[in-house]
Amino acid sequence: MKPKAPTHTPPPDAADRRAVAPVICYPIDGLPVPDMALYQAARGSAEKTAEIMVPPRDAKVFQVPAGHFFRITSVEGPQVGDLNLWNLHDLDERFYSGKTRALHGTHLSVSDRIWSSHPFLRPIATITDDTLDWYGFDEFGGSVHDVIGTRCDPYTHNLLAGGQYHHCCHSNLTRALADYLDCPTGDAEPHIHDVLNVFMCTGFTRDTGQYFMKASPVRSGDYLEFFAEIDLLGALSTCPGGDCSSEHSSDTAACYPLLVEVFAPAKRMLKDWSQPPMNGYDRSHGV
């Protein structure tokens, strides 16, 4: 929180300095534009090949081949999900929440892309459908599907409230990945990264700039759908906060499952599509 009473006197030109208009840090006009018409046509031909139900306060891992779609659906009741994504063949390439936020803004929707970590930095998924795209930004500055939160975790919980809580999204994702990799949780944990908060409604308070959450507008049947640009490994946690209307990192909120479905389009539909190349920077860093 910013101090309520500054200790330094504003300079005479304070108003002028504040009045300077902002400039977008990363204009994305130069980025390759996703061919949404191609994706829509491909989606029309797609058939379901797999589904995974993620139980409440738990996480599951799933695979999505490049060129397939995956859909996350709220079922049974309003539920927020914490999503991690990796290159199926190289876990070092993973979703880069911070750069995705810098490029597309605080909350994601249709045609926004999921960018991967350095040195890869390429789109690894594209959002193709979002039944909550009507929400926009509310009067509090809140919106859905954020890349501003991190993931609820037992370390922060311990700092703020003490105690040992084991079903934060961070731990759920860790257990699920450890199970998939057949390794100890300590080996899986470093692969867990900041998430896309699917269906979560969040923002920053206007007066103090603090991260806030409020009851998600998601209802049963709402979904967020992606096109996999590369072979993906995903992990989805059903947040113990449920709809995140009051608290997380506890067992008090009502929690529901989330459904993950994978869809394969007809091969002919993607004959003109190719996977995004690795980032073009030569990695010499001036040496």
Binding-site ranges for Zn ion (CB under 5 A)? 82, 152, 169, 239
Nearer of residues 126 and 249 to Zn ion, judged by Cβ: 249
251: which 2 tokens?
Answer: 């067992």
Nearer of residues 82 and 222 to Zn ion, judged by Cβ: 82
Pairing of strands 90-94, 81-87: antiparallel
Nearer of residues 103 and 152 to Zn ion, judged by Cβ: 152
What is the spatial distance between Cα 255 and Cα 16, in angstroms, rounded to a whole number?
A: 49
Nearer of residues 57 and 191 to Zn ion, judged by Cβ: 57
Q: Dihedral of the CA atoms 255, 257, 260, 261 (nearest 10)?
A: -140
Min dist. Cβ of residue 169 to Zn ion (A): 3
Min dist. Cβ of residue 171 to Zn ion (A): 10
Min dist. Cβ of residue 200 to Zn ion (A): 8
DSSP at 164: -
Q: Interhelix angle for 154-161 vs 169-181, to 10°?
A: 150
Of the candidates 78, 194, 95, the residue with the CA atom closest to the CA atom of residue 132: 78
Min dist. Cβ of residue 28 to Zn ion (A): 29
Please name the residue that has the structure tokens 């998601």.
Answer: 218
What is the spatial distance between Cα 208 and Cα 52, in angstroms, rounded to a whole number?
A: 40
Min dist. Cβ of residue 5 to Zn ion (A): 35
Nearer of residues 57 and 68 to Zn ion, judged by Cβ: 57
Amino acid at site 217: P
Nearer of residues 82 and 225 to Zn ion, judged by Cβ: 82
Min dist. Cβ of residue 151 to Zn ion (A): 6
**Cβ atoms within 10 A of the Cβ of 135, count?**
18
